[in-house]
Amino acid sequence: MKILWSGKGLNEIGYTFNKNKKEILIKIDKKYFRPNEVEYLKGDASKALKDLKFKPKYSFKALVEDMIDSDLLEAKKELE
């Protein structure tokens, strides 16, 4: 099924033709917009772990260490 697009911004829609009749599949709705600045973000991977048998490649500690190493490398580049 090919999705065709028309409109711009809030008026953009994604549609297809079903039996020669235009059928809207995707419509922009402002109620699902997220604010630009979010004070607190929290993720929970328990459902992915349980239902999808997801196994992360990195432990949380390894992820934080990798992020810190990357930040330190960027800071050193700025000092040069």
The predicted pLDDT at position 19 comes to 86
CB contact at 8 A, 16 and 3: yes
What pLDDT digit, counting tens, does each position of 46-76 carry?
998 999 988 888 898 999 999 999 999 999 9
**Token pair 């039996």: residue:** 19
Backbone angles phi, psi at 25, to 5 degrees: -105, -35
34, 35, 37, 43 alpha-carbon torsion, rounded to 10°: -30
The predicted pLDDT at position 62 comes to 95
The predicted pLDDT at position 20 comes to 86
Whether the pTM exceeds 0.75: the reply is: no
What pLDDT digit, counting tens, does each position of 14-46 carry?
999 988 899 999 999 999 888 888 788 788 889
> Domain coordinates of the chain in residue numbers?
1-33, 43-80
CB contact at 8 A, 28 and 50: no
Structure tokens at 46: 């328990």
**Token pair 């549609």: residue:** 15
